[in-house]
Structure 1
Amino acid sequence: MQADVNPFSLLGNRGDVTESDNVMKKNGPNPDEHGLSRLVDSHGRIVRYLRLSITDRCNLRCIYCCSNARQTCIPHPQVLRYEEMARMVGIMARMGVVKVRLTGGEPFARKGCDDFLFMLHKRFPDLDLRLTTNGTLLEPHIPLLQQVGVKVVNMSLDSFDRDTFARVTGRDMLPAVLASLDKLLAAGIKVKINAVAMRGINDGQMDDFVHAARSMPVDLRFIEFMPMGSGTLWNENTFWPASEIRAEAEKRIRLLPVRDDLAEAGPARMFAVAGGQGRLGFITAVSCHFCGSCNRLRITSDGNLRTCLFDDKEYGLRDMLRNTTVTDAQIGQILSQACAEKPIGAELLASRTKEAVASKQMVGIGG
């Protein structure tokens, strides 16, 4: 199933690259007055994007996120306080991060999420602040998203069929998600729909997906089912590769290749839908890697830095954040050291000796 490719040759350099970035690659990062320097790993990849999980709690039980394992939520005292998360955002912003996405679990399952969004917007008004949500609790918070300048929301939506949605998520809540989707579009907020593609589950619903991309101004991105987490349901029978997904879509519509501007560049290969309002995209996390352009780090809700989704190695930050003698520069040093050790996820995937590439479930990492 693995393609024999150089991960750095795939999709070119699709990160937010500027002339100053090229100079930095050549001359190395320059620390600021507080000793904080830009985050560049040993492969020359520049970190500009943080995915920050604010909770591992969720009101859904998606089969690809929670797997078959029994979910035990992180005890509340071990979860980072919002002030601690804001401090991390500030440190990483000074180290070159320009985009922060709040994830979960479900962000709005945590009390005070609205206040945290206000806090981030007030302290970092130039930050590109985004959100990933399952949409079930979102509708009443949409005016808030407009207020704090959230321009893009990623919504997890694996089926437009109510029975399939309930099968995938364990909850019959599709109407609430569709209501949130309508309100987001009415508010002028860009929506990226993320659909995990699973053979035998939602592979017979391409008509619904194509209709959504035709009739709504959304980016609908198919994500290849990844072998993540202990007890994963992933196997060769449930894996639906992007090449086959695209072929199925092209039986119904004509796809026109597009190239996002630098601010929107990411892992999805996007296509305009001829005669439609939206676009279709394919995130080839398993079949055709895009590690060469990876520009992100992750922080889990309990304060662990994760440099690669496929790597279970984590760097504990919570105790440092709660130690009043630890400075931002010392935390920045840990970030720099961890970034320097950032692996190539494609190599981890190819060399795995068990079904799952990482033992931690997605709900505990952050989507």
Structure 2
Amino acid sequence: MALTDIWFLLIAVLWTGYLVLEGFDFGVGMLLPFVGRDAVDRKVTLRTIGPVWDGNEVWLLVAGGATFAAFPFWYATLFSGFYLALLIILVALILRGIALEYRGKLDDSSWHRRWDLVIVGSSAVPALLWGVALANIVRGVPMGADHEFAGNFFTLLNPYALLGGVTTLLLFALHGAIFLALKTHGEVHDRALKLVPPIGLATVVAAAAFLAWTQAFDGSALTWTLALAAALCLIGALAASRFGREGWAFVGTAATIALAAATLFTTLYPNVLPSTTDAAFSLTTVNAASTHYTLKIMTWVAVIFTPVVLAYQGYTYWVFRKRLGRTDIYQPAEKVTS
């Protein structure tokens, strides 16, 4: 296997890891008003992701950095052509980080409500736009021989891409609901479980339509197999949740996201950004890649440091594995209903 193929695979793995881990973060943020009926419940909800949300975003930084170093022409076209969409995502992620950090700085109900609105909005916007971006990468965008994006922001808002955005929005919400059911007990747990069936039904419909549409572009036996496996994992997650097996349900939604991402990247290969103007203008793993020497150095760096990062993040999840409930939250007198 050529180094260009290895790095395409590694970047696909990095993006998949980001979508799986940040996916439940976004889901928890979007569901905050629905599972947190008072101040204590909202604290329980946010503390489920408190120790891990910023670590999950490291996957995005590494994925972006790896794309820049391994495939600079892909990075250049992607980040210039998708500039406005990615800027909106970046602003949302910044606001989300600020909200999660500053929400608890004052013991004031109006202060909390304002930041809660920011958390909900800044979780929903990236959840939607990441799906739009990924769908456009797979479908292709108008590009000339110079590999410059020839469209605008509204070119990206085509029906297929919007369906992709709705799919990721719903899938992340479902992932977050099941994560909350796994990580909490008491009222937050019960409310999260009640949200799973309606969100799950909508997710099944949207995901089935999106994956079928994706296969209509350039489906193969492998991508059909991956898409079918994603569908089975999603159904299995809903069944496990119904029988109170939240751990298996979470594994199911995580596998669904991973297999859906694998379907998209497998459909994309050997392109990294197809051109809808002329197939000859498409960026591929060959014409978008860095030099062999650069890829070789990057490979050694990845071999050395990737296991360290994985071990540290795995340890973090192990340390904070305990379920949370109202009794784990300090409740000042006369403040619990604010």
Please, what TM-score do these two structures have when normalized by structure 1? 0.29
Q: TM-score, normalised by structure 2?
A: 0.31
